[in-house]
Amino acid sequence: MLISIITATYNSEEYLAEAINSYQKQTHVEKELIIIDGKSTDKTLEVIKEHAAQINYLVSETDQGIYDALNKGIKVANGQIIGILHSDDLFYSQDVLSEVSKVFKENPNLEAVYGDLQYVKRNDTTTIIRKWISGSFSKEKMSWGWMPPHPALFIRKECFEKFGDYDLRYKSAADYDLILRFLYKNNIKTEYIPKVLVKMRVGGLSNLSLKNRWRANREDYKAMQENEIPFAFFVAILKPLRKLNQFWNKNA
C-alpha cells in the first residue's frame, strides 16, 4: 500500500530537515514524499537538495498558499493513501505509516484513519504544550464542533477525486471544510487509531494573532454553514472551547 506524504514549504529552512528525516525513518517501505515549494527565498531549496534521495517529486513555483500547494501535491500523488506532513512537524515514531497501512489493510472499506496529536515547543520537541486526544469518530460529535487533527489524518486518494480538494476560498479553514465535507457531509468510513501519530510545533497560521484567530473562527462558521452543521453559530462558539482539555490532558 503506497502512502503519499505531501509537504508544502515556503521559507521553511529551519525545521524542514527534521521533517524529512522523520519521514525517512519510517519503517513502511511503500511510501513517497512530495514537496511543493512556494518559490522560497531562503535556504529551503538547499535543504531539499541535501535530501534529494528521499524526495520523489519536487516543484518550486509561486502558489496561492499552503492549501493550493497541498492540492498540487494531491494531483501528482501516486499513493492510494494521502497524508500531510507540515514542514515543521514530525512523525511521532518510525512506525506511524506502518500502523496506518495496517489499519487500512485490515478493513479494505475504510476511507480515512486518524490518530492523536501532540503540540510541542517550537525549539524543543520533547516539551509537550498540549495533547489532542481525538477519541472515536461519530457524526454527532462533529455536529458539536469535534474534529480529528488534520496533521494526523490519512485519507484515500479516491475521496479527493469524488468530493473535491481544499477550497481556496478559505485562508485558514480549508482543512476544516474538507474534513466536514468528507467525514460529515459525505459520511466516508473512518476509524480512530488511539496513538499519537504526529508532533506539531506550536505557532500555526491561525494562531499567530488575535486577528488571525478571529478570522479563523469566522471561517470555521462559514465551513459549518456550507456543510450543513445544525446550530452553526452556537457550535462555532463552542469549538474553540473544546481545546481547553488538550492542556489539562497533555501528560495523559
- Span 222-247, average pLDDT: 71
pLDDT reading at 238 higher than 90: no
Decide: helix, strand or coil at residue 40.
coil
CATH number at residue 10: 3.90.550.10
197-227 residue pLDDT tens? 999 999 755 445 556 666 778 898 898 899 9
- pLDDT value of position 221: 86
- pLDDT value of position 189: 98
Q: Enter the pTM of the model.
A: 0.91
- pLDDT value of position 231: 74
pLDDT reading at 153 higher than 70: yes
4-45 residue pLDDT tens? 999 999 999 999 999 999 999 999 999 999 999 999 999 999
Q: Which three cell numbers stand for residue 20?
A: 524529512
- pLDDT value of position 218: 86
Check residue 110 and give left, alpha or beta (phi > 0: left; psi -120 to 50: alpha).
Answer: beta
Phi, psi angles (nearest 5°) of residue 153: -115, 130
Query: What's the domain count of the chain?
Result: 1
- pLDDT value of position 206: 44
- Beta-carbon contacts of residue 237 (< 8 Å; ≥ 6 apart): none
Alpha-carbon distance 243 to 207, whole Å? Answer: 13
Alpha-carbon distance 174 to 179, whole Å? Answer: 9
Lowest mean pLDDT among 85-94, 101-110, 147-156, 202-211: 202-211
pLDDT band at 186 (very low <50, low <70, confident <90, very high): very high
pLDDT reading at 115 higher than 50: yes
47-97 residue pLDDT tens? 999 999 999 999 999 999 999 999 999 999 999 999 999 999 999 999 999
Q: In this structure, is the dihedral angle defined by the CA atoms of residues 172, 95, 92 and 85, taken in order, positive or negative?
A: negative
Burial category of 73 from C-beta neighbours within 10 Å (exposed 0-12, middle 13-18, buried 19 and up): buried
Domain that includes residue 129, residue range: 3-248
- pLDDT value of position 207: 47
- Span 122-143, average pLDDT: 93
pLDDT reading at 250 higher than 60: no
